[in-house]
Amino acid sequence: MDRYLNRAAAGKILAQELKHYAQRPKTLVLALPRGGVPVAYEIAKALQTPLDVFVVRKLGVPGHEELAMGAIAMGGCSILNDDIIHDLKILPAALTRVTQEEEKELERRVALYRGAQPFPDLQNHLVILVDDGIATGATMRAAVIALKRNNPAKLIIAVPVAEKSMCATLSNMVDELICPLRPLDFHAVGAWYENFGQTSDEEVRTLLKKAKGFKQFVR
């Protein structure tokens, strides 16, 4: 395998890697929206495990938004890439402006995807954290740092593709990392999919609604 057909196909492959966690009590699949949701849906469906979302936003460098100078996550967690901020001479005012913009988008997505539903208590739970791939790693690192504050019993990252050295770095932050495709020459997440169309808000909401038919979260 050198590429995935689409996010759903990637999720089914990851589900095979995770099948020994099927129907375990106190287990939760957490997706990073938007692109991580179609992947995570297939995992949760195969494992018959509850599905939820954890919203994280990259802080893109002004004019080069694909390059992360940091990230923010639900719960007020934030990380900064000090090397990029220093090397590109990013002014505090620019960092503040981008952060405020992304905080608004984070709040919008939390309200849209989760409504007034309280975030699950993850203490003593197995958490499988899913995205459609990892590029800079900023959003995933922010998610991991934020989720560790919830004291899960075990934290697993499951992604279809990430650059090999990034996998090594993130493996040291979690209990387990599942990543079938670890290219040395990475380029971008979308390069490893035949179909990598943007996931819409409506698709996220539809999949989360369908997932309510799976096993529900138990404290």
- 88, with CB counted inside 10 A (0-12, 13-18, 19+), is middle
Query: Tokens 């929206």 — which residue?
Result: 33
pLDDT tens readout for residues 7-44: 999 999 999 999 999 988 899 999 999 999 999 999 99
The closest alpha carbon to 7, from 216, 160, 184, belongs to 160
Query: Tokens 């819409």 — which residue?
Result: 200
For 75, the token pair is: 């719960």
Please say whether the beta carbons of 199 and 38 come within 8 A: yes
Please say whether the beta carbons of 160 and 133 come within 8 A: yes
Torsion of CA 209, 41, 36, 129, to 10 degrees: 110
Please say if the pLDDT value at position 218 is more than 90.
no
What is the average pLDDT value for the chain, to the nearest integer? 93
Domain ranges of the chain: 7-56+116-211, 58-113
Please say if the pLDDT value at position 219 is more than 60.
no
pLDDT tens readout for residues 113-160: 999 888 999 999 999 999 999 988 999 999 999 999 999 999 999 999
Q: How confident is the model at residue 216 (pLDDT cuts 50, 70, 90)?
A: low
Architecture of the domain delimited by 7-56+116-211 = 3-Layer(aba) Sandwich (3.40)
Euclidean distance between the first and the last CA atom of the chain, given in angstroms as a whole number: 38
- 74, with CB counted inside 10 A (0-12, 13-18, 19+), is buried
